[in-house]
Amino acid sequence: MNQFHLKKSITLELAEEMLDRAVKKAKELGVAVNIAITDEAGQLKAFRRMDGAPLLSVGIAQRKAYSAAAFRMPTGKWYDMIKDHPSLLHGIPHTPDLVIFGGGFPLEVEGEVIGAIGVSGGSEEEDERIGLAAFDITK
């Protein structure tokens, strides 16, 4: 019987690279956002608040990243998944720290979630575009 398993986790170096790419994309779009990167367990690894980013969005960005890591899925998929199920639609959004709108994405490497990103401060579409821009980790 195995008594433990090894887990992969995002490095600070990769988290900072992702922050840089996200900030670059936000500047291209002309929006100031907050960007949170978490490890595989949803714990904050790195954070950036752009000048002028909304203060309330600090926590939202962190909760988006946490939600994406905790459920291993993009936050933008939640609404379509629950909209036709009244008990879920009215119940699950009350789960502490869960965000059910776009801007949070898990980061997978070799089929394993190693971290997540959450972006908040722009429109839902802008947050998603900025978050996805951070995933170009091939460079």
Digitized pLDDT (tens) for each residue of the chain, 139 residues in all: 889 888 899 999 999 999 999 999 999 999 999 999 999 999 999 999 999 999 999 999 999 999 999 999 999 998 888 888 888 778 887 888 999 899 999 999 989 999 999 999 999 999 999 999 998 754 4
Torsion, Cα of 26, 44, 42, 106 (10° steps): 30
pTM of structure: 0.93
C-alpha triplet 87, 96, 72: angle, nearest 5°? 85
Q: Which CATH number fits domain 16-55+110-139: 3.30.450.150, 3.40.720.10, 3.40.50.10490, 2.40.50.150?
A: 3.30.450.150
Nearest to 100 by CA among 117, 85, 83, 123: 83
126-138 burial, b for 16+ CB within 10 Å, e for fewer? bbbbbbbbbeeee
